[in-house]
Amino acid sequence: MIEVTEKIAIEHGLKKDEYKKICDLLKRNPNMTELGIFSAMWNEHCSYKSSKVHLKNLPTKGKQVIQGPGENAGVIDIGDDDAIIFKIESHNHPSYIEPYQGAATGVGGILRDVFTMGARPIALLNSIHFGSPEHSKTRGLLNGVVSGIGGYGNCIGIPTVAGETKFNKTYNDNILVNAMAVGHAKKNKIFYSKAKGLNKSVVYVGSKTGRDGIHGASMASAEFDEKTEEKKPTVQVGDPFTEKLLMEACLELMKENSIISIQDMGAAGLTSSSVEMASKGDLGIELDLEKIPCREEKMTPYEMMLSESQERMLIILEDDQELKARKIFEKWDLDFVVIGKTTNTKKLVLKYNNKVEAEIPLNALSTKAPVYERKWTKKKLPKEKADLKTLKKIKLDDALIKILSSPNHSNKSWVTEQFDQMVMCDTMNKSGGDAAILRIHGKEKAIAVSVDSSANYCKSHPLTGGKQIVCENWRNIISSGAQPLAITNCLNFGNPENPEVMGEFAECLRGIKEACEFLNYPVVSGNVSFYNGTNKKNIFPTPVIGGIGLIKKYDNAINHKFKSENSVIILVGKTFGHLEQSVFLEELHSISYGQPPEINFPNEKNNGVSILELINKKLLNSVHDVSAGGLIITLAEMVIGSEFGVKIKKPENLTNLTKYFFGEDQGRYVIEIDKNNLLNVEKILKKNGVFYENIGFTQKDYLEIKDEIKINIKDLKVINDKWYNNY
């Protein structure tokens, strides 16, 4: 037997003082199995030890919130006894090491979080960030990740309906793969992980345990270095066909009154699932490790407890329900083994070969785990500004063509076409617009879902960037005709031990908090991913927001595509021409410094509420929010997505055309209106005190700005397809 030392503890990712604390809590030195368990539960990925003090400030309650953070996923009420269960999580490190399996198991893991709570998954979304397209690894990583997402989602039969694919050199050595799942459940059939009752059967179900994924959670809590390739064994291997069986078996059992609590074996595997269930119930748990179904020979207790083999669940059953449950899982050809029981010891007790292999007070793994108030530095608004007068004059049409043919703004159908978007037949609006729209099966209502991020804004000024990304997501949900209800977030940051990085995190969180509070848009679930970086070079702060909204009658849904000729085009919201941190400066002049655009909460809310009122009164033909790239990119996206062009007049309030068309001022929308509805629309906007401009009208064949641009729609689509077709 290996004697545990401080050196071995450090090799497990623990600090010297953390190892000392473990010894003090146990009143002895841990053995190897116990050390492995502590290293898994105390790492950043599982314990949130650096983020807890900031996360607690987020608004998590609301009339529509049934369950906020702290469970496998968040739950919101959408009326009529229906609930939506959703969450987003990262699988960044595994996807960089082994792109296909890393991305695939990210999808599998987030699906389990949702159906574990009693929901049938109805949609998948993703936010994926890669390094520069020219970087030697980008092409392979892109192909692997996209194939992995599609391979798992398509095989299990859940539509991938929306997402984003972005490129930036900050992710050259640490890509981001964030997966979001959405499920539908009945409010009276929601299941939780909290254990209850003594001497209740603890049941292992699903796939067998192997050696894949051991130390996966610990690997996700450390920076990369030159030994990254050596970490491949820590990446899990997924099987979507087995997950499909597991999902159906769990959902079938959930129709019975058999389950006390249920928890998937995700990060840290059997360790985290057993500890979390017992800790939440203030109970103890005893497991007989000889009963664990293993697919590899001579697995040790250490390996069994730390394996992150996929497609596994832990269930605590009501008395006399074992036979019924066993029949269900055996019918679906899955393992079903009673491996333990609940106790009153408040300890995790592991037995192997009739000996006690580990005995740990559960509070030592949960409530007494380290919590750090890391030092952090506040970032001020940048003073440096681009001198626009010195920049080379670029014609509007040349600038538009350059942006639309760039990696970040070109057509992403090469990605989305690898995903089945229509399976289950409830997808009403696919990828490519502001939000995907999903009909609630058999009902008149629908939900809108969207994911968004803006790393450049967050790097420039984290507080403003945090505000902006919530507002951007809110606008996307509004633009689909939905009332925004709640968000989930995936917070991707560098090393929290770096005060600058910790400052980015703290300030982004503050921005997210302020925006969510003002917009009544609570955070109900999420994930923190730290240590995204290589050799002490951290990624840009990249919080990803996944939003859910409700459309009470799905025929009120709307999208960004122009619908008819000779419609009036109105720009809602003021344009000041903010070019700092804009796509225009980055793509045309390689300038990425300066201040992000200001966020005006009252205007944001007032404009959005007014847009939603117009949609619900069926006064609009199409809506698109104005975001990255400014007004001209918004118009181009509306044209490309439809069969109609647009003719735009020159502005009256801002003579600098570059600022007007490429400025990224926030809180704005482009709306299309039939002429006979124009007076009613203007009446409502004026009543609500909303600034708006009549900027033009739709036409056939061309995107046109008077005296500046005239491009055929067909040519515009060719331009927009160019990059991906040639990559």
Active site residues: 45, 91
Which among 368, 306, 437, 435 is positioned nearest to 33, based on CA atoms? Answer: 306
Q: Reading across the β-sheet that carries 568-572, which strands appear in turn?
A: 622-625, 669-673, 568-572, 692-700, 644-648, 702-705, 709-712
Residue 688 tokens, joined: 């609500």
Q: How far apart are CA 172 and CA 36, in angstroms?
A: 31
What is the side-by-side strand order in the sheet with 120-130?
65-67, 74-79, 82-90, 176-186, 120-130, 160-167
Q: For 225-247, give one letter per residue: b (16+ CB within 10 A) or e.
A: eeebeebeebbbbbbbebbbbbb
Beta strands in 43-134, from DSSP E residues, in sequence order: 65-67, 74-79, 82-90, 120-130
SS3 assignment for 524-564: EEEEEECCCEECCEECCCEEEEEEEEEECCHHHCCCCCCCC
Chain CA centroid to CA 506, Å: 19
Take residue 596 and report the two structure tokens written for it.
């992000």
472: number of Cβ within 10 Å: 25
Please give the structure tokens belonging to residue 1: 């037997």
Give the span between the Cα atoms of 264 and 403, in whole angstroms: 44
- Tokens representing 590? 């390689």
Eight-class DSSP state of 257: S
Give SS3 for 218. helix
Q: Which amino acid belongs to residue 36? A: G
- Give 207: exposed, middle or buried? Use CB within 10 Å, 0-12, 13-18, 19+: buried
